[in-house]
Amino acid sequence: MFRYKIVGILHAIGCFGAIRLNENLLNLYLFLMIVLLFGDGILGIVWILRFNTIVAKLRGDLRLRLTNDYGMDIEFQVSN
């Protein structure tokens, strides 16, 4: 939810800068867009490096979470 607010503020800065032809606001908008681009790139690299670890642990973590959340509830048992 916080990310959407930041994106909204970013777009408002760009919009006001374009409407008023304010070079400072447009430069701020460009700088923030570049920061977001590099941030996404860094997150992508981290995701690529940690992907194998995440996939290896996923099945066990999901099985444990299902057991903890639903346990032995008769509604969620498989019927034969």
pLDDT at 80: 53
What are the residue ranges spanned by the domains of the chain? 2-71
State yes or no: pLDDT of 64 exceeds 90.
no
What mean pLDDT is predicted for residues 36-51?
A: 92
Residue type, 69: D
User: How many Cβ atoms from other residues are within 10 Å of residue 33's Cβ?
Assistant: 13
Q: Which residues have CB under 8 Å from 4's CB, separation 6+?
A: none
- 72 φ, ψ to 5°? -105, 25
State yes or no: pLDDT of 19 exceeds 70.
yes
